[in-house]
Each structure stands twice: as C-alpha cells, then as structure tokens.
Structure 1
C-alpha cells in the first residue's frame, strides 16, 4: 500500500505542477498576467529578462536562460532538502526490508478482509515504531514555496516578444527543443532509478516515462520561450539527481546503518483483530452471518428444554 501511495504521489507531482503553474498567476480582462504573484515576482523577472536581452545586448534567449539559472539556483537548496528527506525514508525502508517484506507478503496473499486489515495494521505499527513515514518523506511545503517562483518565471518566459535564439523563433513552438527536453527528462528519470533496489525498479519503470511524456506534450503546444525555460530546468533536475544519488544517499545509508545499530529495529505485531467484513454470496459479512447462526442455535436449544 505504501509503495502504491508513493507512486501515485510522485506521478501526480507533474500534473499538480502544471495546474499550479496556471493557477498562481491570473489574467486581467485584456488577457495580460496579473495578481500578487505576477506583481511581486513575475514582473521583476520579466524586467530582468528585458535587461539581459536589451541593455546587455544578449538577446531574449540568453535572458531567459540567465534568469532561469538565477531562480533555480535560489530554490535548489529547497529541492535538495526535499530529496534528502525522501532519500532518508527510502534508505530506512530498504534497511528494514526483512521486517516489512513478510508483512507485505501477508497483505498481498491475504484471503479474507480480516487477514488483510490485520496485516496492514501490523505494517503501520512497525513503520511507526521504527520512525518510517507513511508518505516516504514527501512533503508539500517545499513544493508550495517553489511554485510562486516557478509560476512567475513560466509566465515571464511567455511574455517574451518575438525574437530568435540560435535560429529558433521563441514565439513559436520548437520540435528541436521539444526533443532535447524529452531526452533530458528521460535521463533524469533514469538516474532516479539507479539508487533503487532491483525489485523496485520494475515497479517504477512504468512511471519513469510519465514526466518526459508530459514535458513533450506541454512543450509541443507552447512557445519555444517556455520550452527554453524547461530546458534549463531539466539540466538543473539532472544535477540535483546526481547530487542526491552519488553524494547524499551514500551518507544517508551510513547514517541509517549507524542509527539502527545503536537502536536495533523493532518488529511489532498488531494486537488488534479487525472485524471481518469480507462479503459473502449473500452480500453480508461473515461475522454477521456467524452471529445470526449462533443466535438461531441458541433459540432452538431453549425450545428443546
């Protein structure tokens, strides 16, 4: 259940980002960007792009790239902190596999609802006792903090006037940039699998292609100026994944091993016996049928006496 929940949350992150991108900044009656986020973040970013493009003579393409680099550098510590939390929970889960795996097998092979509920209760108790987060360290606060910056930059890129960058018209869609973006985000997804246990890779491969596919669908329908912003974002995503995989995770693995050596893992068995609600052919729970049968038998015995 926990793995399914994590996959749902991770695969839904891209859709959530797209919805928030369109919701953080509003538009006035004329169709121009408006609202607090635009006034405090989007407009200054647009001014910065104009400054790099016109005052410094770098052009709007480099202007978008430079402003995107600045913004992504500012929010990079938040991204790394979130990756660290998720990786810490992942390493804990991997270390505690000998405890969790038998319980997960009982959940998978449960024949009745009572057995399944009991095993799930035991799993949750074992996770709680060993300090494992049910959500795997995935939190909403860092994403919510980033979204105003990303949303403002997204709309700032869309406001770029008609101009060219390396032969690409920034006001029109670019198949070349779309293809490059697809490769970048596919590489980022592939890198995210390298630190995952072998038995989990097969389960995660289906979600590996979701983000690249979404980025292709969005890039092919939007101006190249926005695709250029996503291109820089893809490079930052790869850099963040490399830092997480080869620098953060090894240290966290050592930390988890040390923590559990000092405080050995605890296997917990749930003492609660959930009511069996497995439906029968008559549509009634087994426990209810058994109770009715016992009452009928008791009535018959009284009549005999």
Structure 2
C-alpha cells in the first residue's frame, strides 16, 4: 500500500513509463490528453492544461482537508501564544543546558496538555493519496505521443522553457508567501526558509524538464494559490471561531495548572547540568583523582 500510494512510476529499458500507477492513472491521462489535442483539435498545450485542471479539481478536497488540519493547529497555536511565548523566551535565554531542557519539557507539556500537535496534525495519508495522481500526470505530460514536436503559444513542448520556468517560480513564490499570512512570529521564523526553497526546487524541476511538464507545474501553481486563498479567507475564519469556542468551554491550561506535577517531578529528581566544565575544573578533578590513587597505595 505504501509503495502504491508513493506514486512510483517505473521505466523500461527504452525510457517508457511502466508499472501499476502508469497503467491505472498515467495511461488514461495520456489518452485524455490525446483526445483533447487531436479529437477536439485543441492542441497538446491546451490538452495538458485541461487534464491538469481536471485532476487538480478531483483531488482538491484532499488538499483542502490537509490545509484545514494544518490551519486548525496554527489557530490553536496562535490562541496559545500568551502561554507559550514566555516559555519560548526562557528557552532562548537559557544560560545552562539544565535550564534549556526544563523549559523545553515545559513547552512540550503545554502543547500536550492543550492538544497541540507539533507536527501540524496533518498526517501522511492525505498527502500520500495525492502522490499517484501527481506522478501519473507528470509522466503523462512527458511521454504522451504527439507532444514531441508540438508547441503552445510558440513554446516548443519537448524542450525546456525559461519563460514557463520563471512564471512557475513566481506562482509558487506567491503561494509560499501566502502561507506566512496569519501565523505566529515563531512559526513564521520556522517557515521562512521554505518560502524560497520550495519555489527554487519547482523552478529547477521545470527547467530540467520539457515545457509540457513545466506547463503542468504552472497550472498546479494556480491551483495551489486558489487552495491557499480558500484556506485563508474561508477555512481559517471558521476555524478561528471554533478554536475560540473550544477554549472558552475548556480554558487552556497554564504552567501553574499542569506544572504542579511537572515541577514536583523536576525538583524530586533534578536534571544533571551537562554544561561542559572549564579546562581549569577538569584539571582540578584530575588532581583529586590522582591524589586518591596515591593515598590508596
């Protein structure tokens, strides 16, 4: 099941796609591209766009479900900031390893006691279910007979296109920037690197592939922006009210509430300070050990 959901498409000795995913999904998509391009006389560029739109509409509910799970955790994290921010500040300003470990344990306890998932609560299944569709469409856009030698808006579909690569990068940069809207400052710092990394990777894949594949990425970028806008202006406001109502009925637990048992356990068996000793302390410790050995003799 894991291999199936990973969307792996094999290739034979001639470089043609093979395997279960290609047979079940890729081949029908390739046939549909040919139908739009030749039977409907729309051309292979428009055919790739139409098939990409059809596939993305089919899996859009999965993408929105995934985005909703992540947005729910984001809203809970934002609501909890008055409680989590002081602990995070102590983690940053810890002078010893013991202080840092204690603050980190308290932060994890605060998340656990208030139902926060540090991994966003997304789960792997919604992502895995989408992978075969993406993989099959990628190979269909690359290996459908007839794409080689065709063009779309004077762009050859069988060779890389710098124009499509740049447009694709801009779309995914916009989509990545939109993910930072409405998140906490701490989350924004953690996510900022992905704002550039993801578009750069998509641009690399687009320029390393024929323009027919880059066209597939381009249409996918539009859908990613649409999905993000739906999440921002439809899903999040509803989740914000839901989270406020949940915490109103079941107020968030503060460190003074869940920290009694936590603190008692910490004081009963204090953590060992593993901060490396200075060279002078190590020399004194060695002298004491040597002195003990000489007395024993």
Q: TM-score range by the shorter chain?
A: 0.7 to 0.9
Give distance in 1, aligned partners of 2:5 and 2:201: 14
User: How many angstroms does 1:22 deviate by?
Assistant: 10
Bigger drift between 51-60 and 201-210 goes to 201-210
**Corresponding residue for 2:73?**
89
Q: Is the 8 A contact 2:52 2:216 kept in 1?
A: yes
**Corresponding residue for 2:236?**
249
**Corresponding residue for 1:150?**
134
Does residue 281 (structure 1) correspond to residue 278 (structure 2)? The answer is yes
Give distance in 1, aligned partners of 2:206 and 2:5: 14
Does residue 46 (structure 1) correspond to residue 33 (structure 2)? The answer is no
Query: Structure 1's 242 and 275: CA in aligned 2 closer, same or farther, altered over 3 A?
Result: same
**Corresponding residue for 2:117?**
133
**Corresponding residue for 2:60?**
76
Give distance in 1, aligned partners of 2:241 and 2:230: 16
Does residue 226 (structure 1) correspond to residue 213 (structure 2)? The answer is yes
* Residue in structure 1 matching 2:182, options 192, 195, 199: 195
User: How many angstroms does 1:21 deviate by?
Assistant: 11
Q: TM-score, normalised by structure 1?
A: 0.82
Aligned residues: 272
- Which structure 2 residues correspond to residues 1-305 of structure 1 after superposition, within 5 A? 24-160=8-144, 161-162=147-148, 163-197=150-184, 200-201=187-188, 204-267=191-254, 268-269=258-259, 270=262, 271-272=265-266, 273-281=270-278
Q: TM-score, normalised by structure 2?
A: 0.84
Q: Is the 8 A contact 1:45 1:152 kept in 2?
A: yes
Q: Is the 8 A contact 2:33 2:51 kept in 1?
A: yes
| Structure 1: gaps spanning 5 or more residues | 1-19, 301-305
User: How many angstroms does 1:266 deviate by?
Assistant: 0.3
| Structure 2: gaps spanning 5 or more residues | none
User: How many angstroms does 1:57 deviate by?
Assistant: 1.2
Give distance in 1, aligned partners of 2:185 and 2:54: 37
Q: CA RMSD in A?
A: 2.6
User: How many angstroms does 1:60 deviate by?
Assistant: 0.8
